[in-house]
Each structure stands twice: as structure tokens, then as C-alpha cells.
Structure 1
């Protein structure tokens, strides 16, 4: 397929679903995936890709995409709820028992992303192992994964699903950064088998831990300028973890050799403005990235990918509808962003135990987001 109607850059959830929607609409579409397990957002460790929770509310969307039965048959572990020490020292539980959509899931992200790409290919999309480097005058500059060769790829429309890298969108718009949040994380090979995700606020940030296929994920989130230098070492991370009240209990054997490779990743909210223009749209984290506290990142990637695919399909079907289709997509993103900001502010405002902490003060007095 040397002249596709549309090229989707990025093979994560947003990109795979966008390609699926475009292919089902009868368009020639290439889905570019670089083949690595953790290229977008948090980076992988031993085949593990962080971004591991899918909330119950995803059911209607997966059903609408014709993917629900296949997803349910794939056997991702069930998530029955969360525990949180947030706003008080006491641990509070929240169950999915009374959620109208049922339980959520702890995802094997590598397998889940592959499932979505396979669905796009089954619908008629061509999967190409390549990474987008740039977009110039309607031509994509791509590097082939297997050979390293750099080539040009013409396409009438492009979906930027390159995650926080936002390779295409950042050339056409500006990104507004919400704060300075970063994540330090490690995967421990064993620990408490408790399946509920646990969140614990501390003086300069917050921790969370959850089960993943590779073991038990433990992550600490704080602002990049507030990071204690000692925390950047495995020993410092282990010592900080040992000072938590609840998270440390989920990790077995916090001995000198118990910390795997420590990883770092950006975790701040981002918004690309504009998120669409002539010949391109952004989806997933490239358009709108969330603070992990929301637990909505994968859900929103799926929603924005589906809507981006429909917007491009409408533009390809009728050029006269291009402006209206892009305006509708932008309005859709605006609605998500408004709800996210409100929920984000409310949640952080619930924690008031450390009034002198710079981390918590910033989130109670947050002004306009800065440029990324």
C-alpha cells in the first residue's frame, strides 16, 4: 500500500482503534508501529508496559467497536476496586460491586495492544513496522524498523497517535503542560496477591501499587523539581518505599537486592491546541494526556482514537465536511478536558494533611498550565 488514504502513526490503543475505524469505513489505511513494547508514555521493562488499568466504563465502547467478546475471552485479570489512603491516614476501600458496568481489569498492556492491532489488520488495515519522524507538506518521513531506512510516505490524512512524543501535532500546535509530575517505578517479582490497586498520599507526592503480569508494580509520583536525589537510585527508592504505611506491605522481602531496575517517566497532564488541522488529527496522549491518578488514560485513548478515526473517515468521504468534522472532534476533546480538569482539582483538593508541602500547595493553587 504505497499510497494509503490515511496513515496512523503509533500502534498503541488510540492508533489501533483509529486504524480499525478507518479500515471498516472502507479506506486504505496503514498503521505504523515501531514494534517496541513501551514506546509511548511510560517505557517498558522486560516486555512490560505501564498503563495497566481499564475501568468498567469501557464496556459500551468495546461493544460498539465489536471488540468486547474478544477482549473478555482474552483473560485479563479482574480488578474489583481500589484502596486509598487519601485525605486521611485511614485506608478507604472502593469496590466495583455496585458499578453499573461491573468490574474493571488489570491489563497485560503488551497483549492488549497487540489484540487491538490484530483487530485493525483483520478489518483491512496494513500494519507496517516503522516509526514516524516528521510530517512535511503532506508527506510523512518514516524510518523502517527492520532496515533503518528513512523513506517518504504520501498520505491524504494522518492520525498522530505517537503518545507524549506528539511527533506530528507539536509541529502544528502548542502543548499546554498541567504541572511537573513525574513517575519513578519498578516491578517487583513477588508480593501480596491482593488484586485491588492501592494509592497512598505522602508529604511530597503519592504512591501506588498494583498487580501486573510481570509481578507487582510500585510507582512514586512527585514533581520533577522536588525529587530527592537519593530517590534516583535503587537503594533510595527502596528506602523511600519502606517509609510508606501501606504500599510497603504489598511488597515481599524489601531486602538489599529486592529492587529491580528503576525507571522514570513523565506523568503530567498535557493538552495539544489545536488538536486537528488540514490533513491531520491527534489522538490519545498526543492530543490529551492525563495524570495517572485519574485511571482514565487507556479509556480516553480508546475514545479519542475511535473519534479521530471517524473524523478522518468523514473528511475522506466528503471534503466539504472537513471543517465541520474537525470542529466536532475538537469540541469532543474540549468536553473531555473540561471534565478532567474539574475532577483533577476536586481529587487533589481532598488531601490537606500537609499544608506547607510545595507539592500539595501547587495543586490547590494551580493557575494556568505552562507550555510543554
Structure 2
């Protein structure tokens, strides 16, 4: 096992939450490392969670990440079409959002931009996967697996931004799962154009409820994302093959129409991801704090995942910087908890209200499970 010198803070995870936390800490003059997972052979070549609401703009400006973070080739969202609670397709335009139009991101490019900004600010980039952390008196020892073995990092504070796996927080907190929602998704890449086909330019997201769950499709700079959300025990095994997935998508009324509208390259096998809501209790403790999906993860229907990751990453970075500067950790963590608890309460309420509006299939398992969940009970399944 190789060792590195002690850091003020180590950020585990290089997504939006981790990159912003590292950026804030580096700008505060702290010695910080950001440990980013290396590519996994055979892993999904694209990343879902592509919608960024326009409400993110003020924070991105405050972080001096504007306008580069959302510049071309990222696409401006022109609204969405929704078939939910009704067989009709209804338009929801950006005029209904008080902040205006948001963005459809190339997530890999967006995340890389944020990491680069953290590196420029002084955060040290390290390749590897944080597996656990050991309390070491006043600080922590983190074990990082990389291609040549394992390295050990010492730090005063650690930020867990490892996503839903919550590598550092898992043994230190309770994780409460909302349901068992999963997403099957694929990227249909765009050709540069061919005879007889118009390029796919429809940037409005389509969301369509179906008896066994719901579908959505949206255009990103990398191509068209198509996803089906359901429960694992309800998922048709044919969804695991390209032909089976496309056949199911094309049988939908509205999402399927988007897939025949442009000249789209045939995809590889669909990827599968967990997509249920998840809440950590507590969000931090002695020498550690969780941000992004590690702390609070959302059902994709909310389209709030990246926005919350950015805010929680920034606030986690500020909290750690304050503690490193001598502030008592307890009130700092209490303030952070109050912020995330407020987000969680609003999410649970809106989630229950959204699913309650779909009443066409009350006896079918997917909708029955969600229709029977009261807001105060929806996060009570302990992992």
C-alpha cells in the first residue's frame, strides 16, 4: 500500500457535487485532493441525469463557472411534452419556469468542466475508487483502490460524493430508500445526416406514463437519451436487449414517435441504474460530510438531481472550510442538515403530488405502490 501526505480534505467522487466541493475548498486555500473513479471496462458509455434547471444559473455565477459550464454544445431546453394523468400530450414550456429555459447537458462534458475548474483552483486530481475510511484520531485514513493496487490518504475531513453507493457514509449513517425504482436507458447517437432524413432537432423532453411505469426521451449533445422507469420485479427481461428495448419504446404512443423522427444510429445494449429516492441520516459526522446523491438522491421525475448536487457540494465545501478554520463542527453540520432536510421535505411532497395525478391504472402494481404511499411514509424503508 502506498501512502500520500496528509490533506486538509479529500473529496471522494468527481461528479458535480464532488467537483464543486473541491473547488470551494481549493479556493479557500485548503490542500484538497479529489479522487475520481477511473472508467470501468464495459460500463455505460453515457451518463443520465442530463437536465439542469435554469435555477442553477445564480449558483454557477457565484462560483464563477458561468457561462462556460452551460455553453455549447450543451442544448437549451425548450420545455417538455407530458402524457401523465391523461392520454393527451400536454406542453409545458420554459415560460412556466420563473427562471426560464434550462439545459440538456452532455453529462460527461459537464462533469469534466467542473473537475477541470477544481483542478485549476488547486485541487489535486487522483485516479481511483475510495472504498472506505478509518477514523484516525483527529482525522481519517481513506483507502483508495487504483490500477496499481491501493493507496492510503490521510485527511482532516472527507467529503463523500460517491453517489448512491455512499462509500464513506454507508457505515456511519442510516440510508433510507424511497422505493425500488430502476431505469433502463440507452443513448441513440446522432448521425451527421443522410439522404432522406432530417436531423433530430426536437429538444423538448417527452415524458409518458404507461401501465408498468413511465418513459422519457430527450435530446442531448451526444444524442437522444431514451429511458424506461419501472420496478425491478416488473421489468420485462426483453428490455435488456437492444431489440427488446427499442420494440418496447416504439410501442409507446409519444416517446416512440420521437425515435422515428430523426436519423438515429442503432444503440448497443441498454444500461441499468438505480433511480429511487434515497436519504442519508445523518448527513455528516466527525471528520466527514456527504453531498450529492450520497446524501440525498431523487426520482428522475423531479429533474432536480444535478441542481441539488451543485448546491449540496458548494455547501459541503463551505462547511468543511469553516470547520478547518476552527468553527465548531456541531452547529456547522446542523446548518447543513437544515438545508438538506428542507430540500428533502419539499421533494417528498412534490413527488407524492406528481404520482397522485396519474390515476389511470390504480390497480396495477407500479401505480398502486406509489398511490398508497403517504408523504410522511415515503422514505421509511431502511437499507
**Pairwise TM-score range, normalised by the shorter structure:** over 0.9
Partner residue of 1:298 out of 303, 306, 309: 306
CA distance in 1, matches of 2:200, 2:83: 18
The residue number in structure 1 matching 2:107 is 109
Give the CA deviation at 1:241.
Answer: 1.3
Go from structure 1 to structure 2 and tell me whether the alpha carbon gap of 1:330 and 1:76 turns closer, same or farther (over 3 Å shift): same
Q: Does structure 1 residue 344 correspond to structure 2 residue 355?
A: no
Q: Does structure 1 residue 14 correspond to structure 2 residue 20?
A: no
CA distance in 1, matches of 2:203, 2:73: 15
The residue number in structure 1 matching 2:382 is 371
The residue number in structure 2 matching 1:28 is 31
- Larger CA deviation: 86-95 vs 184-193: 184-193
Give the CA deviation at 1:253.
Answer: 8.4
CA distance in 2, matches of 1:115, 1:193: 25
CA distance in 1, matches of 2:77, 2:275: 22
Provide structure 2 residue ranges, at least 5 long, that are not aligned to the other structure: 191-198
Q: Is the contact between residue 73 and residue 221 of structure 2 (CA under 8 Å) also seen in structure 1?
A: no
Render the CA deviation track for 1:113-172: whole Å, top value 9, x for unaligned.
11111111121111111221110111000123xx42212111000000000111001010
Give the CA deviation at 1:38.
Answer: 11
Give the CA deviation at 1:24.
Answer: 1.1
The residue number in structure 2 matching 1:139 is 141
Give the CA deviation at 1:355.
Answer: 1.6
Go from structure 1 to structure 2 and tell me whether the alpha carbon gap of 1:180 and 1:120 turns closer, same or farther (over 3 Å shift): same
Alignment of 1:1-372 (within 5 A): 2-36=5-39, 44-45=44-45, 48-97=46-95, 99-137=97-135, 138-144=140-146, 147-190=147-190, 192-252=200-260, 258-319=266-327, 321-366=328-373, 367-368=377-378, 369-372=380-383
The two structures have a TM-score, normalised by structure 1, of 0.93
How many residues are treated as equivalent by the alignment?
A: 363
Go from structure 1 to structure 2 and tell me whether the alpha carbon gap of 1:184 and 1:308 turns closer, same or farther (over 3 Å shift): same
- What SS does structure 2 have at the residue aligned with 1:167? coil
Provide structure 1 residue ranges, at least 5 long, that are not aligned to the other structure: none
Go from structure 1 to structure 2 and tell me whether the alpha carbon gap of 1:226 and 1:98 turns closer, same or farther (over 3 Å shift): closer
Give the root-mean-square deviation of aligned CA atoms.
2.1
CA distance in 1, matches of 2:295, 2:70: 28
CA distance in 2, matches of 1:73, 1:313: 30
- What SS does structure 2 have at the residue aligned with 1:61? helix
- What SS does structure 1 have at the residue aligned with 2:170? helix
The residue number in structure 1 matching 2:194 is none
- What SS does structure 2 have at the residue aligned with 1:341? helix
